[in-house]
Amino acid sequence: MKSLFPEKIHYYIYIFALFILVVGLPLSKFLMSLAEIILACNWLLEGRVKNKFVCFWKNKTALILSSLLLLHFVGLFYTDDYAYALKDIRIKVPLLILPLIISTSKPISQKIFDFILYVFIQAIIIGTIISTLILVGIIHRPIVDIRNISIFISHIRFALLICLAVFISAHYFLKAVTNLNKILWSLVIIWLVIFLILMESLTGLGALFIVLIALIIYGIFTIENSILKYGGLIFICGAIPILFMYLNSTVKNKNDKNNLSYAKLDSCTSQFNLYEHDLRGKLTENGNLIWINVCKKEIVESWNSRSNIKIGEKDLSGNDLYFTLIRFLTSKGLKKDADGVLLLTDNELKAIERGVPNVNYQSISSLKGRIYETLWEIDLYNTTGVASGHSLTQRFEYWKTAWCIVKNNLLFGVGTGDVPMAFEEMYIKNNSLLIKEWRLRAHNQYLTIAVAFGFIGFIWFLITLIYPILTEKNIKTDFIYMTFFIIAIVSFFAEDTLETQAGVTFFAFINSFLLFAKEKK
């Protein structure tokens, strides 16, 4: 088949589609899909399809990367739910087409390669600015949770893209030859890190910290410059204790308790209704026990007279409003009665309606509040086994359930389409305390692969991840690729990164682009 246009035109279309794709990654699922369609059509219309497949077959790295999709086709042979299986395969088509197209297309120059990465960083910055305008109220959108400011893609996916942009910017900072360029790249890095803090992204900040520590450790053993070597060592020795002290102050604030006895507690409210006290309950807010000085009758009457969200309903974050209110009153040191509710300000009432459980963390963006709430979730889970509605402890239940499925289907898994069914059945079998709406999949890519394809599929998945590092020349010293690799494998622990369009496109495109797109030196 001859090409539809001159080779030069197809080359320009290819580059144009790459630009659309890097803009779409943080800003538009539609642009992601459009770019992939343009890439595929241009690749076919360019002709020489047979030769391209021959080249693809000879490129073992590209072949291994795309074989992850083949694994999903193999899983069709022993699945029952073909509708879900085909939907899953459709989402994961980028795992094949992006390595295939990029590895068999004309390589781009280093200049164009750099320019595409510049555009990617600019798109990320635009996304953070739009999110910030939403946060401060210039763009009017309802914000119940800080995650709501990421309006284009999942806040976790956005955080991973920001992490990658930070290290790409660091790469160009190191390459910059003028002070002005170094200042500009420094400002980009600082802003992106600040935004991760504003977004309270523990996943993003965790990935950022892990990559940074890994790079510094690598540098300590490989860099000959003694100033950089010992500077990195000093940074690690200083950063880890500072982080520990920061976390410890939050833990101390959460775990401080006021020691009380029944003799010190009032028996009646000011309206002569009886209090309920449970000193055996270990949960606290700001050192105050939650389940003492509780008069539910008064709480219901006084709260319902002030708010449109009634007791018995969910707050705007999806949690039990009554429990959120009890925690908030406790955090203020107020009794849980009519007097306590009446002492709440209008702003505090709105915060409770949004799902804020502690008076100290009413701000939409509070990293310390996010850490506090995460620690509180763990405490609640350890004390009561309740995880519904709490992002971290729900994952404990997801992982536990996934592991049970893996043990029962050790070698080959349950197949491509039966993953949701297997989870649903195992939740019932284990009498999980998770309510139905929160009974989701593993939220761990490694476990998800093991559930679907067993131990054999899991091993093959690991091979597809590490094969480029083992075989591609100079990849171990490629700063951008190694940071991407670490970010990706870290994200797989906390998310099913490859189960959504944004996640699978992020992984398949960045992996293929960094490995195959530019001219080999």
For 368-408, write each residue's pLDDT tens digit.
777 777 777 887 888 777 787 777 888 889 999 999 999 99
The more confident residue out of 92 and 147 is: 92
The more confident residue out of 478 and 258 is: 478
The tens digit of pLDDT for each residue in 217-237 reads 877 777 766 666 667 677 667
Q: Which pLDDT value is given to residue 399?
A: 92
Torsion over CA: 63, 64, 68, 72 (sign):
positive
pLDDT over 80 (residue 244)? no
Q: Which pLDDT value is given to residue 124?
A: 95
Average pLDDT (292-313) is 89
- Specify the range with the lowest mean pLDDT, choosing from 320-324, 350-354, 361-365, 431-435: 361-365
Q: Which pLDDT value is given to residue 407?
A: 92
Q: Which pLDDT value is given to residue 262?
A: 54
Strand positions, DSSP E, 60-161: none
- Classified as helix, coil or strand, 285 is strand
Q: Which pLDDT value is given to residue 215?
A: 81
Across 356-391, b (16+ Cβ under 10 Å) vs e yields: bbbbebbebbbbbbbbbbbbbbbbbbeeeeebbbbb
pLDDT over 80 (residue 241)? no
The tens digit of pLDDT for each residue in 55-113 reads 889 989 999 999 999 999 998 998 888 888 899 899 999 999 999 999 999 999 999 99
pLDDT over 80 (residue 479)? yes
Q: Residues with Cβ < 8 Å from 189, sequence gap 6 or more?
A: 166, 169, 170, 173
As a whole number, the mean pLDDT across the chain is: 86
The tens digit of pLDDT for each residue in 34-53 reads 999 999 999 998 888 888 88
Q: Which pLDDT value is given to residue 156?
A: 84
Q: Which pLDDT value is given to residue 277?
A: 84
Q: Which pLDDT value is given to residue 61?
A: 92
Q: Which of 40, 99, 22, 37 is nearest to 68 (CA)?
A: 99
Q: Which pLDDT value is given to residue 501?
A: 85
- Specify the range with the lowest mean pLDDT, choosing from 100-109, 330-339, 468-477, 484-493: 468-477
Q: Which pLDDT value is given to residue 13?
A: 93
Q: Calculate the CA dihedral of residues 410, 412, 417, 422 and round it to 10 degrees.
A: -20
Confidence of residue 23 (pLDDT cuts 50, 70, 90): very high
Locate the domains of the chain by residue range: 7-246+434-516, 262-361
Q: What percent of the chain has pLDDT over 90?
A: 38
Helix, strand counts (H, E) of the chain: 21, 2
The tens digit of pLDDT for each residue in 161-203 reads 999 999 999 999 988 888 999 999 999 999 999 998 888 788 8
Q: Which pLDDT value is given to residue 252?
A: 58
